Homo-oligomer: A and B are copies of this chain.
Amino acid sequence: MESAYSKLWLDYKPLDIPFAGKVAVRCLKGVSRECAAVSELITSLSALLPQAELTFGADSAAVIIELDVAEYLSLEEYVITADERGAFISGGSETGLLYGVFAYVRELITEQGFTRLSKRVRPALPLRMLDHWDNADGSIERGYSGSSFFFKNNELIVSDRTVHYARLLASVGINAAAINNVNVRGAAVRLITKDYYRKLDMLSELLGRWGIKLYLCIDFSAPISVGGLTTADPLDPRVQSWWRDKAAELFSEVRNLGGFLVKADSEGQPGPYAYGRSHADGANMLARAIKPYGGRVIWRCFVYNCSQDWRDLRTDRACAGCNTFAPLDGRFDDNVSLQVKNGPMDFQIREPVHPLFGVMKNTSLTAEFQIAQEYTGQQLHVCCLIPMIKEILAFRTCNGRERDTVLDMIDGAAAVSNTGDSFCWTGSELAAANLYGFGRICSEPGLSAEDILEEWITLTFGRSEEVKEKLLYILLGSREAYENYTVPLGMGWMCKPNHHYGPDPWGYEFDRWGTYNRADRDAVGVDRGPEGTGYSELYYPPLSDMYSSPDTCPDELLLFFCRVPYTHILKSGKTLIQHIYDSHFEGYAQAEEFFRLWRSLDGSIDERTYRNGCDRFKEQLRCAAEWRDIVNAFFHRLSGIPDEQGRKLY
């Protein structure tokens, strides 16, 4: 029977070398033969070397692989020393060892044989997390890959697919997963009740075997909705006591629980504001309840007024995160981490880096990315986000620290997951690169986007140079192409409301969401400088000065920070309006080129993947033409300025 899901990058094929000798695996101190690291190594070697004779602990063998747990390493760290006669892999724990095994197997595949290798890796970020927005009924909020494989009809599912899911995550070093939607609705409210303990425990044990902690999104008002109290006030002793009791029960029933992920006071979710309390009050109350069990609270900072009056030019949604959380810096318990979206708005194709990363110097921060392509083509358009994630992590906050990048300021990263129960997990096979890349970056942020993609391509599609070159070209160019044919220069929000797919330049302009481009016949963009909304002042100098003036603001963020006339000359030497026209024609041409390259791979990649890709590239082109023509028409109708090259505008 055909499997209901592909193995993605773990679909190992035999190596090219005709190795048929004996391979001995030796488990040294602290390594149990039953642990995931050993089983993963055996599974992998069996697939890679089908002719080899695999043994445990044989004295003589052509290749000897020794596995070890070593105290001098931190828990998730590993060391590999390898050559043509075998390898010595050591981990700080069986999880570190597992990461070492995955790294070693990757090397075997990319090098196609036993070669010299010396490597010591400690995952850079302690928390490397996937946030699933799966609902208990099986739907996925902002899901573009089918339905949930965690939930169906309000039941939790633990199946062979869950095991492969855990392998996929572990293989790229992800060590935490929140399995339910941050908007906690319906039956999901009852995940923290005995209705779900048995299955949750099964799931958490399964994930734990692969080094992954289970997180649950909770309803902040659970003391009311679940507990039957009349309040969820975090300073009310009854509420505190309820959560303490709940935590005791939950952490004893669900043995590998990591903690809670919480969306509070955001887009209709309940939170501490209802009781006149701060977000520190809310987060710390929960953190204290679960602290005895090693639990952590991941507290989202996506708090803003979602009933804004579009007529109001002073209120700026971009400021909301800092306004809410900056005054609370240093006031969060040590088992709270604030999960900050990469930008101040909501996962647009281009935003400035969130100023909270610089400001919150005394608070644990988790950077939140969205590999679910909500605003970036919904997995119908190819849009590789690895370069963007790297760019954001490398951003210098200029906050006075010696090491002041976003990466330096955070101790975790989370990605809103792009997975579902589609055959290839991510709707589009190419979208799996974002899942792979997110994990790899969190573990080894020094890797370049090219490094990571080369790995992923080789693991997924084999070692064809042609396939690698063409896919690299597509993937590395895909974000620029998408940005080119969609929303110009950091402005955001020109998508259709609600479902966020396809162009609607004023779809969010006169609405309550705080998302405006303020375009008129002369100019476009929002003045977020000191004379405008003041948002630029939330950055440290020299960033604050740089962003506040069109002369110094980087072009790619110009319309986010500044209001400029269509005739404004960009650093490229082009006028703004001509840039808009050119980039839209160019973006479409790039998408055409991607499809052309993809079609040239017919026969070089598997048929199912090829056909799925063709369907998606076709849709990408259709939609890219809409974006190109509608955004250009929008600005042409407003500005009245013709295209210098005389191309057709509507």
Contact = CB atoms under 8 A, between A and B. Distances in A.
A120 interface: no
B650 A521 contact: no
A638 B521 contact: yes
Interface string A519-558: 1111000000000000000000000000000000000000
Given A510-B633, A520-B638, 12 more contacts: A504-B506, A504-B507, A506-B506, A510-B629, A510-B630, A520-B637, A520-B640, A521-B521, A521-B637, A521-B638, A521-B639, A522-B640
A169 B338 CA distance: 62
A503 interface: yes
A507 B638 CA distance: 16
Interface in A578-593: none
7 contacts: A504-B510, A506-B634, A520-B636, A520-B637, A520-B640, A521-B638, A638-B638
A535 B237 CA distance: 73
Main secondary structure of the interface of A (DSSP, over half): loop
A278 B504 CA distance: 37
Contacts of A640: 520-522
A504 B509 CA distance: 9
Contact of A505 (B506, B521, B633, B638): B506
Interface in A298-351: 310-311
A411 interface: no
Interface string A489-506: 000000000000001111
A626 interface: yes
Most buried by B among A510, A521, A629, A636: A510
Interface string A397-417: 000000000000000000000
A650 B506 contact: no
A650 B311 contact: yes
Nearest to A520: B637
A137 to B, nearest CB: 19
Contacts of A629: 311, 510
Nearest to A637: B520
Interface in A608-650: 626, 629-630, 633-634, 636-640, 650
Given A521-B521, A650-B311, A510 B637 contact: no
Nearest to A638: B521
A617 to B, nearest CB: 21
Given A311-B650, A521-B521, A650-B311, A510 B626 contact: yes
Interface in A408-465: none
A505 B630 CA distance: 15
Contacts of A639: 521
Contacts of A633: 510
Contact of A637 (B310, B503, B638): B638
Nearest to A636: B520
Nearest to A311: B650
Contacts of A521: 521, 637-640
Contacts of A522: 640
A96 to B, nearest CB: 53
Nearest to A519: B637
Interface in A185-209: none
A636 B510 CA distance: 14
Contacts of A507: 504, 507
A564 to B, nearest CB: 16
A505 B637 CA distance: 14
A650 B509 CA distance: 11
A10 B357 CA distance: 68
A637 B521 CA distance: 6
Nearest to A630: B510
Contacts of A505: 506
Contacts of A520: 636-638, 640
A522 B640 CA distance: 8
A647 to B, nearest CB: 13
A565 to B, nearest CB: 12
Nearest to A498: B498
Given A521-B639, A650-B311, A510 B503 contact: yes
A600 to B, nearest CB: 30
Most buried by B among A311, A503, A626: A311
A53 B587 CA distance: 86
A628 B639 CA distance: 24
Nearest to A503: B510
Most buried by B among A504, A626, A629, A634: A504
A310 B502 CA distance: 14
A503 B310 CA distance: 13
A178 B505 CA distance: 41
A626 B630 CA distance: 25
Contacts of A638: 520-521, 637-638
Nearest to A313: B650
A507 B639 CA distance: 20
A466 B477 CA distance: 72
A589 to B, nearest CB: 18
Contacts of A630: 510
A566 to B, nearest CB: 11
Interface in A364-394: none
A636 B311 CA distance: 14
Contacts of A634: 506
A633 B313 CA distance: 14
Interface in A585-608: none
A505 to B, nearest CB: 7
